[in-house]
Amino acid sequence: MKHAIRGLLVATAMAVPLAAAAQTEIEWLQWFAAEDDSGFYSALVEEFEAANPDISVKLVTQPFGKVRESIVTDSAIGIGSDVLGLNMPWTAEFLDIGLLEPLDAYMGADGNSFDVDDLVQAPIGKINGSTWMVPLNAFPFVMHVNKGLAEDAGFDAPPTSWEELREQAIAISGLGDGISGLGMPFSSQPPSNGPILTFLPLLYANGGRIMDGTTPNFDNPKVVETLTFIKELDDAGGIAPGAASRTGGVDLEEFIAGRSGFLISPGVHSSAITSRNPDLDYTVVRVPTNTVAAYRVHGWELGIAASSDKKEEAWRFIDFLLSKDVNARVAEASNALPGNLAALETVSMDAGDIQKAQMAILAEDEPVEELRQAPSAVGSWSIMTEEIQSMLNGDQSPAEAATNVQARWMELIS
């Protein structure tokens, strides 16, 4: 009994100082930890909490497909997180709803751990006069190559042009036994983002765009040319059958399992590929070009919720994540490049071949990012998906598909 009372007193005494340092809890909603199974992000949070005893961070992890939905609904009912993992294509619609806090004041303040000029520039470009997000990491869209299959089909170098891509994809499909040349995920299943995963990188490598400033401009010759390339490649058997029901997840899995020759997707997928199938004879190259060496730039972004009442604390956490040393580790963990390019040196020191290949693309090619300003971006992917499905099914020509996407997209934003 005596012991118990003493124990209680000791416990109370110990609890007091902790309670006195009034801890603020902030929430970090993201999908990053869902794509990492090493526990890297919870360790990162602990590291931050150790350095900032007055702040605790609650890691809220959801799959990528769910995060956008959660940000909107949580904010609508007033339980939104403070720090948000963001995706550039969501920017326009989030700004419409007023979900994001402008970051200019925080970025301009003294005492930040990074230099704004060192950040990857695409995400921080001003819209409506402000910056809304900062880059945690960055990666180009690339083409993942199964070198083994390409060699089996008689090619000793990955394709660099559309012509070579066509030739190799068809030849690899010809190997039979469930092997396909190029995987293309045009399923309607959410997030139904096949077109921006595969079509846009090809379009950019063809020197095309789908936006004219902030207005959709899907109905143009470059788009039609790219769609025609896809349609003809599909007709020739170069694309994995069942594209209209193939999800992005399946597309990635098929490549990991060694059943597709090529996969066009974010460079960040390389970590999943190498960790899940270390035996794959695998490399990364720039998306084959048709005149222009350009890549779709992408990354994991961070922002602060407009509705948060702990914005100061939220920014301190973001500042921690962007600091050179931490950011370098994030880049390594996600097999991407740092959002704070000051960390590039650290990263490149022990970069593997795959990461070096991505750095080369970033260094040499033209970055393209136009979804950040695209209105109803996510809705437009569904439209593109449906029209491309219809085109592949032979119900309409590439030109009709382009016209229909444009018309429906304009209707959506009207």
Considering the complex, state which of residue 33 and residue 244 has its C-beta at the smaller distance from other proteins: 244
> Could you tell me if 100 and 133 are in contact, meaning their C-beta atoms sit under 8 angstroms apart?
yes
Residue listed under structure tokens 């390339």: 229
Structure tokens at 116: 């704004």
Cβ of residue 281: shortest distance to other proteins, in angstroms?
21
Stretch that binds other proteins, among 20-28, 47-55, 272-280, 374-382 (CB under 8 A): 374-382
Check residue 187 for interaction with other proteins (CB under 8 A).
yes
Q: Lay out the site mask for other proteins across 215-254 (x = CB under 8 A, - = otherwise).
A: -------------------------xxxxxxxx--x----
Question: Residue 277 CA to chain centroid, in angstroms?
Answer: 21
**Interface positions, 77-96, toward other proteins (CB under 8 A):** 93, 96
**Interface positions, 127-166, toward other proteins (CB under 8 A):** none
Check residue 385 for interaction with other proteins (CB under 8 A).
yes
> Could you tell me if 240 and 182 are in contact, meaning their C-beta atoms sit under 8 angstroms apart?
yes
Check residue 412 for interaction with other proteins (CB under 8 A).
yes
Check residue 197 for interaction with other proteins (CB under 8 A).
no
Residue from the set 23, 188, 215, 291 that interacts with other proteins by CB under 8 A = 188
Check residue 259 for interaction with other proteins (CB under 8 A).
yes
Nearest Cα neighbor of 73 from 85, 82, 63, 81 is: 81
Residue from the set 43, 51, 76, 105 that interacts with other proteins by CB under 8 A = 76
Cβ partners under 8 Å of residue 215, min gap 6: none
> Could you tell me if 145 and 261 are in contact, meaning their C-beta atoms sit under 8 angstroms apart?
yes
- How far is residue 345 from each of residues 213, 324, 327, 351, measured CA to CA in Å? 34, 10, 12, 10
**Interface positions, 389-408, toward other proteins (CB under 8 A):** 389-390, 393, 395
Considering the complex, state which of residue 218 and residue 320 has its C-beta at the smaller distance from other proteins: 218
Check residue 43 for interaction with other proteins (CB under 8 A).
no
Strands 83-86 and 24-30: parallel
Considering the complex, state which of residue 43 and residue 79 has its C-beta at the smaller distance from other proteins: 79
Nearest Cα neighbor of 124 from 93, 95, 88, 90 is: 88
Considering the complex, state which of residue 99 and residue 150 has its C-beta at the smaller distance from other proteins: 99
Structure tokens at 297: 């730039």
Size of the site for other proteins (CB under 8 A): 37
Considering the complex, state which of residue 120 and residue 239 has its C-beta at the smaller distance from other proteins: 239
Structure tokens at 110: 């003294």
Considering the complex, state which of residue 24 and residue 376 has its C-beta at the smaller distance from other proteins: 376
Considering the complex, state which of residue 327 and residue 389 has its C-beta at the smaller distance from other proteins: 389
DSSP secondary structure letters along 41-83: HHHHHHHHHHH-TTEEEEEEE--HHHHHHHHHHHHHTT---SE
Angle of helix 324-333 versus helix 311-322 axis, rounded to 10: 70
Stretch that binds other proteins, among 44-52, 71-79, 108-116, 216-224 (CB under 8 A): 71-79
Cβ partners under 8 Å of residue 238, min gap 6: 166, 169, 170, 172, 173, 181, 182
Cβ of residue 325: shortest distance to other proteins, in angstroms?
38
Cβ of residue 3: shortest distance to other proteins, in angstroms?
42
- How far is residue 192 from each of residues 97, 183, 187, 197, measured CA to CA in Å? 22, 15, 6, 10
Considering the complex, state which of residue 39 and residue 241 has its C-beta at the smaller distance from other proteins: 241
Question: Residue 412 CA to chain centroid, in angstroms?
Answer: 24
Strands 134-135 and 83-86: unpaired
Considering the complex, state which of residue 186 and residue 204 has its C-beta at the smaller distance from other proteins: 186
Stretch that binds other proteins, among 35-43, 164-172, 290-298, 384-392 (CB under 8 A): 384-392
Residue from the set 148, 207, 367, 379 that interacts with other proteins by CB under 8 A = 379
Residues that bind other proteins (CB under 8 A): 68-69, 72-73, 76, 93, 96-98, 178, 186-190, 192, 240-247, 250, 259, 376, 378-379, 382, 385-386, 389-390, 393, 395, 412
